[in-house]
Structure 1
Amino acid sequence: MTLPPILQAKVPFTKPALTIAQQIAKLEGEGMAIGDHAMATHCLQHISYYRLSAYWLYFEYPKGQAGPRFRPGTTFEDVIALYEFDRTLRLLVLDAVERIEVAIRGSWAYVLATQGGSHGYLNRHLYSDQRKFVGNCRKLDEETARSKDTFILHYKAKYSGPTRPPVWMASELMSFGLLSRWYALLDGRSNRQLVAAPFAIDEIVFVPAVQHISNVRNTCAHHGRLWNRRLKATLKLPKKNPPELARALNRTANDKLYNTLAFLKYLLDKCEPANGWGQRLIDHMATLAPGRDADMGFPANWTDWQLWGGTK
């Protein structure tokens, strides 16, 4: 029986650094066809061997299997096509997240401002965990101190207090990840539901969705791979409502990207109905080689669901 990596004895790292010419020779020696060495050199120079290795892993035999590393017919061009597909997918996801994020920031600020005034969000009694509340305040203070935004500099210069900015400034200042933690920490369903209300979704589903979207956003912002990625922070899937979202979800692959995309489509339709994003995603997915969408959790005939413009 093979032990999991965490239980295996550690060994010194001895892998050598390779020149690009050596990298090409290594790939060819392991069974990858490279028809255009100049193109491969350019890609390895400007993308890097290590980053591309996440994409050619798909074309490899399982580790430990005797014989060549790559499956028959694997080409460097296939790897680059998959890399470029993923790059465009990241841009599509960021396009949706940007508009959803802005709407979430606005809803959070509006609810807390109208419920408690400009600085009511700092009322510790609104939050379920006082230790985490103090940590959130500390993080907000750090982000405020670093900020060079004109509105923060103006606030500091003009007003004697409170030291922390009003909620509508705080919502624009803090990172989306921090805002998701402030939102999740709200004690009591009513305020959390008021923030979720513009999206016509239950806060029990929406709160973890906001945190999940923040994590995916960070992956995209750091140019991380989305294709075939296993997502650590999974979504809470609605059982029945909203019906168009609930029906379209893949309940057997919640650690893959498809459900994330379904949530983005639903939320984007609520904050910007005439967005065209879903069709752009459908068109982009059509450029992927047959069968590879299943590696991202896409169910068969997914475009038949009402969420994606179908009739089911």
Structure 2
Amino acid sequence: MMAKQSEYPKKIISFDLQIKQLIERGLIINNPELAKDFLKNISYFRLQGYWWEFQNDKTNHEFKPDTTFENVIELYTFDRKLRLIIFDAIERIEVALRTKMIYYLSVEKDQWWFENKDVFFSESFFKDSLFEIDKELDRTKEIFIESHFKKYGKDSRPPAYKTLEVISFGCLSKLYSNLSNEIGAKNRIAKEFNLPNYNYLKSWLQSFNVIRNIIAHHSRLWNRNIHFAPKSLDKPTSEFITVPNNINSLYHSLSCIIYILNKVSNGHTIKGKLIRLFENNQKRYLTEMGFPENWKEQLLWK
């Protein structure tokens, strides 16, 4: 039986009481007014995900000795900068995927291939995808979609080169994953991402979409285990890493992202931005992300 809302034990407390509670738990707050300003703009609950790292006793919420509020904000800022860099990286991968799916599948089939159930493996997934596509077409305010419907009417969907530009990365990756294995473009696209076959690209896209969604919701990323891990690439065709024991680590996923970018975004500066971010912050942040001691010696990160 669900508890009544009135029985929920935790109540909202004032900013002053939030600060008082943190001090009583051992957090050093040298400037309470500045801390209050942060708590007014970054919620107590959101910051809790970061100061968890600094607590000795997580049941009683007691902080490790000499932990300051500034330590928590530094970690929060590190994570925010990390998310911004990775969002840029995934955007480039997403654009490359759209481009390749539009081109190769339209050439192999036709410009309305996404409406053809024979192109796909699962009919139920195909119907779900069409439902998502129609929602996006109905919701979008893109001029090129509105102009298409005005000129050609709404009895049929726009061709792939227009329609696929307005669907989400999640829908796009589902379309790819559900392509029939008989479709030649499925493997061709995977190889253009520097991967052996569609099984790898399907897995990697799923992982990247999980990370993208974490970032889109402004959620904590830095020490996450990615539950849909990218499929282990034991025989890469260019510089990569030794596959770590924990393939769910953020280190593994970030390495996979850089590996793909090296193929589809020539001259990108994402790796350099990440290395500078890592070098300017606490080493323990990297440990929590799964980075090994010798990460700089790995071919991908040199």
Give the structure-2-normalised TM-score: 0.93
Gap regions ≥5 residues in structure 1: 1-8
Residues in 2 aligned to 1:220 and 1:30: alpha-carbon distance in whole angstroms: 30
Give the secondary structure class of the aligned counterpart of 1:73: coil
Q: For 1:56, which of 45, 51, 54 is the aligned residue?
A: 51
Once the two structures are TM-superposed, the CA of residue 162 in structure 1 deviates from its matched residue by 6.0
Change (3 A) 1:77 1:89: same
Of 191, 194, 201, 2:188 maps to: 194
**Percent identical residues:** 33
Q: Quickly say closer, same or farther: Cα 1:87–1:64, change in 2 above 3 A.
A: closer
**What RMSD, in angstroms, separates the aligned Cα atoms of the two structures?**
1.8
CA contact 2:87–2:215 (8 Å) conserved in 1: yes
Deviation of residue 105 (structure 1)?
A: 0.8
Q: 1:274 to 1:187 in 2, by over 3 A?
A: same
Residue 167 of structure 1 aligns with which residue? Answer: 160
What amino acid is aligned across from residue 215 of structure 1 in structure 2? V
Q: Is the 8 A contact 2:52 2:58 kept in 1?
A: no
- Asked if residue 233 in structure 1 is aligned to residue 228 in structure 2, the reply is yes
- Alignment-derived partner of residue 5 in structure 1: none
Q: In the TM superposition, what is the alpha-carbon distance from 1:62 to its structure 2 partner?
A: 3.9
Residue 91 of structure 1 deviates from its aligned partner by: 0.6
Whole-angstrom distance in 2 between the partners of 1:174 and 1:100: 15
2:103 equivalent among 89, 97, 110:
110
CA contact (8 A) 2:121 2:179 kept: yes
Q: Hey, what does 2:202 align to over in structure 1?
A: 207
CA deviation vs aligned residue, 1:138-176 (integer Å, no higher than 9, x gap): 111111111111111111111247611211112201011
Query: Under a length normalisation based on structure 1, what TM-score does the superposition of the two structures give?
Result: 0.90
In 1, Cα distance between the equivalents of 2:54 and 2:259? 33
User: Do structure 1's residue 223 and structure 2's residue 218 form an aligned pair?
Assistant: yes
Is 1:177–2:170 an aligned residue pair? yes
The answer to whether the 8 Å contact 2:79/2:222 transfers is yes
Kept in 1, the 8 Å contact 2:250–2:289? The answer is yes
Residue pairs, 1:1-312, within 5 angstroms: 12-64=7-59, 69-160=62-153, 163-188=156-181, 190-202=184-196, 203-245=198-240, 247-250=241-244, 252-309=245-302
1:101 maps to amino acid: E
Paired amino acid for 1:232? H
* 1:4 corresponds to: none
Distance in structure 2 (CA, Å) of the matches to 1:159 and 1:266:
42
Residue pair 1:33, 1:74 contacting (<8 A) in 2 also: yes
Is the Cα contact below 8 Å between 1:113 and 1:121 reproduced in 2?
Answer: no
Question: Aligned partners of 1:244 and 1:185: how far apart in 2?
Answer: 29
CA drift at 1:280: 1.3
Deviates more, 1:170-179 or 1:271-280: 271-280
What is the DSSP-based 3-state SS (H/G/I as helix, E as strand, rest coil) of the residue aligned with 1:173?
coil
Q: Distance in 2 between matches of 1:40 and 1:85?
A: 18
Unaligned runs of 5+ in 2: none
The AA in structure 1 aligned to 2:27 is M
In 2 relative to 1, CA 162–240 (structure 1 residues): closer, same or farther, beyond 3 Å? farther
Alpha-carbon offset, residue 10 of structure 1: 7.3
The 8 Å contact of residues 184 and 207 in structure 1, kept in 2 or not, is answered as yes
Shift of 1:274: 1.0
Q: Distance in 1 between matches of 2:117 and 2:170?
A: 20
Q: How big is the shift at 1:196?
A: 1.7
Cα deviation per residue 1:160-204 (whole Å; 9 max; x = unaligned)?
476112111122010111111111000116332122232221222
1:48 partner amino acid: S
Q: Distance in 2 between matches of 1:109 and 1:24?
A: 53
The one-letter code sitting in structure 2 at the alignment partner of 1:39 is L
Q: Does the 8 A contact of 1:285 with 1:293 survive in 2? A: yes
